[in-house]
């Protein structure tokens, strides 16, 4: 044996060596899935290995976007709502056409940027025909002034509404575990519950819009909180995206989340949060689609195949969270996977899979 050889490192997308080709536990047979939360972008050889690509640089390619959507089709996903830079929209449309709709993220690069920057960005997205706008307001964006209810976001929501955009997606909150770690400084980041003050203010200011709380409203750890929000705001829905987070927390609150989705089947939307990156292999995309479908529709149980740096294994337990499928009823799945998103995006209803 070669003593200098290091042991093979399992890839992040399959640390348990699972056979992703085994999909015999999938139950869903309804109309094709719509991914309501993904980041299908052009990628470049100069992109950082982690973190979002900057959206500029030489060698822009739509190959990863095409690969991701090809893998998606294998899992029954025929339409994806993508967040990407405005410059990415024309080339993605040229290659992938009706498989994509677009969600424009309204941001400012720095806190000193004039509000006009955000309005110019909104104008570009509106010219490009986005169907949704997004306010990213994670705690780590506070230093950059990215509050969900910042005055320039209120104005952007007004302008989007006047231009006919009726849907706003919001990222508030982050995993509870992060508030014990990177967000422990509550004076700087706010507590987790404080994240929702601005969000509720926006919900009250714009009751005539459809609001989407990304990543299970940012609070899969507290289904009772999600239920209270759904009851208080009938025009609010949640997407199921951020696969590692949901695979860790949804099975940990399986019965409560299952009951919640079954009680409000019109208010949940399938999403992955997949991001195209320049050098990703096919199985990275496979792993997220596989886990999302396994989680919602099956009764499969076992350690998640995806590495999760936030997960603290129990002594003697598995290295990754224990994925336990919710086995949602067929009529609920049809709404979560297809009908709700088709209605919101105006995607034609297509034949069953
Ligand atoms: Zn996302």
| pLDDT for 53 | 80
Å from CA of 169 to ligand 1 middle: 10
Tokens of 262: 């079954």
- Determine the distance separating the centroid of ligand 1 and the alpha carbon of 92, expressed in angstroms: 18
* Each residue's pLDDT tens digit, 206-234: 999 999 999 999 999 999 999 999 999 99
Return the structure tokens found at 304: 């998640």
- Centroid of ligand 1 to alpha carbon of 5 (angstroms): 38
- Chain segment 263-298, per-residue pLDDT in tens: 999 999 999 999 999 999 999 999 999 999 999 999
38: CA distance to ligand 1 center in Å? Answer: 6
- In angstroms, rounded to a whole number, what is the distance separating the alpha carbons of residues 143 and 190? 11
Tokens coding 293: 């479908």
Tell me the CA–centroid distance for residue 82 and ligand 1, in Å.
Answer: 9
User: 2 C-alpha to center of ligand 1: Å?
Assistant: 43
- If you ran DSSP here, which 8-state letter would residue 284 be given? H
Ligand 1 midpoint to CA 134 (Å): 10
State how far the Cα of 216 lies from the Cα of 214, in Å rounded to an integer: 6
From start to end of 214-259, where are the E strands?
236-239
pTM given for the model: 0.95
Q: Which of 292, 350, 352 is nearest to 325 (CA)?
A: 292
Q: Which residues surround ligand 1, an ion (CB under 5 A)?
A: 273
Cα(37) to centroid of ligand 1, in Å? 6
Bridge partners of 211, per DSSP, are: 168, 236
Instruction: Give the DSSP letter string of 297-331.
Output: H---EEE-SS--TT--PPTTS-SS-EEE-----HH
What spatial distance separates the first Cα and last Cα of the chain, rounded to whole Å? Answer: 50
Ligand 1 midpoint to CA 273 (Å): 5
Which position has the token pair 């994670």?
A: 138
Residue 205 CA to ligand 1 center (angstroms) comes to 24
From CA 243, how far away is CA 14, in angstroms rounded? 14
Alpha carbons 63 and 23: distance in angstroms, whole number? 26
Looking at residue 1, its pLDDT comes to 47
Regions of the chain short of the pLDDT cut 50: 1
Give the DSSP letter string of 85-154: -GGGHHHHHHHHGGGEEEEEE---SSTTS-HHHHHHHHHHHHHTT-SEEEEE--GGGGGGT--TT-HHHH
- If residue 167 lies in a helix (H) or strand (E), which one and from where to where? strand 167-171
In 3D space, the residue among 184, 125, 136 whose CA is nearest the CA of residue 160 turns out to be 125
Give the alpha-carbon dihedral of 242, 331, 351, 39, to 10 degrees. -10
């Amino acid at each position: 044996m070669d003593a200098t050889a290091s042991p093979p490192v399992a890839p992040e997308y399959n640390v348990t060596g699972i056979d992703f080709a085994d999909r015999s536990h999938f139950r869903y047979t309804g109309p094709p899935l719509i991914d309501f939360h993904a980041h299908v972008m052009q990628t470049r050889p100069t992109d950082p290995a982690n973190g979002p690509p900057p959206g500029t640089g030489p060698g822009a390619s739509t190959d990863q976007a095409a690969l991701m959507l090809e893998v998606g089709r294998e899992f029954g996903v025929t339409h994806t709502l993508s967040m990407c830079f405005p410059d990415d929209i024309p080339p993605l449309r040229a290659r992938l056409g009706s498989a994509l709709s677009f969600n424009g993220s309204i941001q400012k690069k720095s806190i000193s940027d004039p509000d006009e920057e955000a309005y110019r960005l909104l104008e570009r997205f509106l010219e490009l025909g986005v169907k949704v706008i997004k306010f990213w307001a994670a705690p780590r964006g506070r230093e950059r002034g990215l509050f969900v209810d910042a005055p320039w976001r209120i104005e952007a929501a007004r302008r989007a509404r006047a231009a006919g955009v009726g849907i706003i997606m919001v990222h508030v909150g982050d995993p509870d575990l992060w508030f014990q770690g990177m967000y422990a400084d509550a004076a700087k980041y706010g507590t987790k519950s404080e994240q929702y003050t601005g969000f509720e203010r926006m919900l009250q200011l714009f009751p005539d819009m459809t609001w989407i709380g990304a990543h299970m409203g940012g609070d899969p750890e507290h289904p009772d909180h999600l239920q209270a929000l759904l009851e208080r705001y009938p025009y609010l829905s949640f997407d199921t995206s951020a696969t590692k987070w949901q695979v860790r927390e949804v099975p940990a609150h399986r019965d409560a989340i299952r009951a919640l989705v079954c009680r409000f089947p019109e208010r949940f939307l399938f999403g992955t949060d997949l991001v195209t990156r320049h050098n990703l292999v096919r199985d990275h995309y496979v792993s997220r689609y596989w886990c999302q479908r396994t989680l919602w529709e099956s009764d499969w149980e076992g350690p998640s195949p995806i590495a999760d740096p936030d997960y603290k294994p129990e002594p003697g337990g598995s290295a990754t969270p224990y994925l336990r499928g919710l086995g949602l009823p067929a009529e609920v799945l049809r709404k979560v996977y297809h009908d709700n998103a088709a209605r919101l995006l105006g995607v034609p209803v297509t034949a069953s899979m």
